Amino acid sequence: MKRPPPIPRIYTLTGNLLWEQTLEFADWAPGRTQRAQSGTFQVGGKGINVSKMLTRLGTPSTALCFAGGHSGAAGVAWLKAHGFAFRSFATRRATRTGLVVRGGRRAETVFLGPDAPPGAAAVRRCAAYLDGQPDGGVLAICGSLPGWATADFDPLRAALERWNARGLLVVDTYGPPLAWLAARPVALVKINRQEFEDLRRGRRWPVRAWVVTDGGGPVSVTDERGRVTRLQPPRVREISPTGSGDVLLACMLHARLRRGLGWRAAAAFALPYAAANAADQGIATFPDPPAK
């Protein structure tokens, strides 16, 4: 009996890691001292979220990230303690910090510290690591890449060109990195509706497939043949949308690589999970959606 082909290794790249604390309040208001009822610590960043959901689905991945300072050391310790397969590249600048405030009558509020560009040495080490991986892998570029427009990122841009020729490159970023990557025949770009409309004005892109999200509205999937399908996410009572796009991408990668589905079917598989995440306070911690 012919053996099925091996499942390609998935790598997620988080260009802007986040040291993140969540504080829970009975109620809170600006302008006075607040006392939380409880607090938790976690590591954030879009690629970390994608790897977290892939792990839940039983699909191995390696999370790549830049980490520096005390906040970066705490983030690396958290990743180790939670059993992540990861590779971090040390930076001189401290990893950015964030605070999530929940509770009372106010909507969940997120405070983010300044972005932390990784610096030339860390970028070179990341590029060398990617060049050292075997052909046929899948690399997901997730979230912002501070410092992308500088010469510090030249080695990574060159490594991504080489990766795209020998594996699959999946993109979920924005701004200058998005414009640069969308000018290449990458396997998939996940993008929100407004960014998509801004990007496509007056230009055709060589991207092989697109998934375009629109909050709780229909998701548009354009597959490799140019066929466009609109899919309606399940309606839920939204608690926290944070990370739902990352759950969507992780589930699409799982469905594509483990189940052999096309991008349209992979998006249909993924949408109930993304909606369930929006109806939960955590990221990839929600109860399983009902099976179809």
Residue 257 falls in which region: left (phi positive, over 0), alpha (psi -120 to 50) or beta: alpha
Whether 287 and 276 have beta carbons less than 8 Å apart is answered as yes
Residue 271 has pLDDT above 90, yes or no: yes
Which domains can be identified in the chain, with CATH numbers?
A: 10-26+38-278 (3.40.1190.20)
C-alpha–C-alpha distance, residues 91 and 104, integer Å: 38
Say what the pLDDT of residue 289 is: 87
Higher pLDDT, 34 or 16: 16
pLDDT tens for each residue of 17-63: 999 999 999 988 888 898 999 999 999 999 999 999 999 999 999 99
Say what the pLDDT of residue 4 is: 52
Residue 3 has pLDDT above 90, yes or no: no
Instruction: Indicate the average pLDDT of the chain.
Output: 93
Q: Full-prediction pTM beyond 0.85?
A: yes
Whether 255 and 214 have beta carbons less than 8 Å apart is answered as no
* pLDDT > 70 fraction of the chain, expressed in percent and rounded: 98
Residue 242 has pLDDT above 90, yes or no: no
Q: Which residue has the tokens 């990007």?
A: 199
Whether 67 and 88 have beta carbons less than 8 Å apart is answered as yes
Mention every residue, 6+ apart, whose C-beta is less than 8 A from residue 12. 47, 48, 50, 51, 54, 61, 62, 63, 64, 139, 140, 142
pLDDT tier at 215 (50, 70, 90 boundaries)? confident
Residue 181 has pLDDT above 90, yes or no: yes
* pLDDT > 90 fraction of the chain, expressed in percent and rounded: 83
pLDDT tens for each residue of 58-103: 999 999 999 999 999 999 999 999 999 999 999 999 999 999 998 8
pLDDT tens for each residue of 97-136: 999 998 888 888 899 999 999 999 999 999 999 999 999 9
pLDDT tier at 164 (50, 70, 90 boundaries)? very high
Question: Taking CA 159 as the corner, what is the angle to CA 45 and CA 243, rounded to the nearest 5 degrees?
Answer: 15
